[in-house]
Amino acid sequence: MWQSIFSEPEIGDKILWPFAVMLWVDWWPCSLSASSSESSSTSDLAPLPSGTSVKFEWEDKDKDFEYLQNDNFDIDEELPTLPASQVLEGLIVLCETPELARKLEFLVPHMMELLWVGREDLKTKVIMILKRLINQNLEKKKASPMDEYLVENLPRFFDMESSDMREAFICLFRDYLGSAVLRNNKHLKTSLRSALVPLLIRTSDQSLSVAKAAQEALLAAAKLLKWRELKELVKKQQMWRIGECLVGKDRSRAEEYLRQGLSYLKDPEASVREAAIRFIGVATRHLRNRSQEQLDEICSALQPLKTDSNVVVSCLAEQTISILTALGPTPSPRFRPEALLFWRRRPHP
């Protein structure tokens, strides 16, 4: 039935946007017009059909859809009636077909917002859909807005409260790193660097399966970026040297990496807080224009951890504060007239 519906482009395109709207309406009690406006800002893959829409209801227990095309559909008065859980079940079926999976890409931002809702059944279904979408698109060459969205947003879910969810999303990201579209897109590979610090810190996760998944994803990222030193360090499991490698290789990102490390100081796991402190010390030393204001801010963030319930964390925090205080701001470059004279006297090649 699904193949029949989507074989007609005009019908298929009208069905997909109501799916997006239903995903929003089921959890956000705002007007449908406002939801549609927010939805369109997160995706530019499919325009909302003007003047028409589709309303769905379950026809029977086999989860077949009955759709009605309304020429005078009032978006402010008529609301779709299908719950998000059932919408996701339908999407799982659609993702089995490569052609339909491509049509569903624009729904990814709407589905991933459901991950912040405290229902494990929805989260599990969203992961199933994302996994199928990624698997169906591993060999595609041309990047789509979904690809940029996944690179930028999948790392947000590495830190979910449930260790099972953390593992699931890290594994999802690891699999996605094998896609042809990432190998062939320089811009996406550059954006990928923002996921390196979260992956590094998650290698210290108390859950061994999460830590292993993070290590595998970090290795996949190193291979994709053709970063030989990082790849060797991950293979040798020399995690304490990876932070130095990351920041030393790309000092222009030192401040960004530092901000990422600071966000882990309040993590519920002591091993993660410890890894974050160690990384913060490394990143701070590599700041190009380290100011006293920055040092004060970093030390202020570390201060509460001096009384951490974990002895290793509290001692490390106190030690790091002392080191950073002694380190001080980056010395200002001094102008030496003799250096200018020496430069002028050099013979031209």
Q: What is the pLDDT along the chain (349 residues), one digit of tens a residue?
A: 545 555 554 444 455 555 555 554 444 433 223 333 333 333 333 333 333 333 333 333 233 333 323 333 333 344 344 567 777 887 888 788 777 777 778 788 878 877 876 678 888 888 998 998 888 877 777 888 888 888 888 999 999 989 999 999 999 999 999 888 888 888 888 888 999 999 999 999 999 999 999 999 999 999 999 999 999 999 988 888 999 999 888 888 889 999 999 999 999 999 999 999 999 999 998 888 888 999 999 999 999 999 999 999 999 999 999 999 998 887 765 545 444 444 444 555 5
- Give the separation between CA 222 and CA 199, rounded to whole angstroms: 11
Within a domain: 141: no
- Sign of the torsion angle spanned by Cα atoms 320, 325, 330, 335: negative
- Give the separation between CA 300 and CA 294, rounded to whole angstroms: 10
Alpha carbons within 13 angstroms on the beta-carbon side of residue 314 total 6
Clarify whether residues 107 and 190 are in a common domain.
Answer: no
Distances (CA, A) of 9 to 6, 43, 219: 6, 19, 41
- Sign of the torsion angle spanned by Cα atoms 146, 147, 148, 152: positive
Which pLDDT score, from 0 to 100, does residue 311 have? 96
Clarify whether residues 232 and 305 are in a common domain.
Answer: no
Clarify whether residues 125 and 211 are in a common domain.
Answer: no
- Give the separation between CA 51 and CA 275, rounded to whole angstroms: 54
Clarify whether residues 67 and 159 are in a common domain.
Answer: no
Within a domain: 347: no
Which pLDDT score, from 0 to 100, does residue 54 have? 32
CB distance 43 to 145 below 8 Å: yes
- Quick one: which of 162, 96, 174, 171 has its CA closest to 127? 171
Clarify whether residues 228 and 305 are in a common domain.
Answer: no
CB distance 329 to 291 below 8 Å: yes
Clarify whether residues 95 and 3 are in a common domain.
Answer: yes
Structure tokens at 313: 């964390």
Which pLDDT score, from 0 to 100, does residue 313 have? 97
> Tokens 């923002």 map to which residue?
194
> Tokens 């970026």 map to which residue?
225
3-class secondary structure, 66: strand
> Which residue range forms the structural domain that includes residue 121?
1-136
Within a domain: 349: no
Clarify whether residues 3 and 51 are in a common domain.
Answer: yes
Within a domain: 290: no
3-class secondary structure, 336: coil
- Give the separation between CA 283 and CA 287, rounded to whole angstroms: 7
Within a domain: 342: no
Distances (CA, A) of 340 to 81, 337, 344: 76, 5, 6
3-class secondary structure, 146: helix
CB distance 155 to 256 below 8 Å: no
- Give the separation between CA 29 and CA 19, rounded to whole angstroms: 16
Within a domain: 65: yes
Within a domain: 345: no
Which pLDDT score, from 0 to 100, does residue 65 have? 32
Distances (CA, A) of 173 to 222, 247, 287: 13, 22, 29
Clarify whether residues 158 and 114 are in a common domain.
Answer: no
Structure tokens at 109: 């931002």
- Give the separation between CA 54 and CA 75, rounded to whole angstroms: 11
Which pLDDT score, from 0 to 100, does residue 11 have? 45
CB distance 303 to 321 below 8 Å: yes
Within a domain: 346: no
| Angle formed by the axes of helices 292-302 and 254-262, nearest 10° | 20
Which pLDDT score, from 0 to 100, does residue 72 have? 37
Clarify whether residues 67 and 1 are in a common domain.
Answer: yes
Which pLDDT score, from 0 to 100, does residue 293 have? 92
Which pLDDT score, from 0 to 100, does residue 184 have? 83
Domain final residue, candidates 111, 136, 161: 136
Clarify whether residues 80 and 201 are in a common domain.
Answer: no
Tell me how many domains the chain contains: 3
Clarify whether residues 239 and 311 are in a common domain.
Answer: no
Which pLDDT score, from 0 to 100, does residue 204 have? 95
- Give the separation between CA 126 and CA 120, rounded to whole angstroms: 10
> Tokens 């360090």 map to which residue?
233
Clarify whether residues 2 and 131 are in a common domain.
Answer: yes
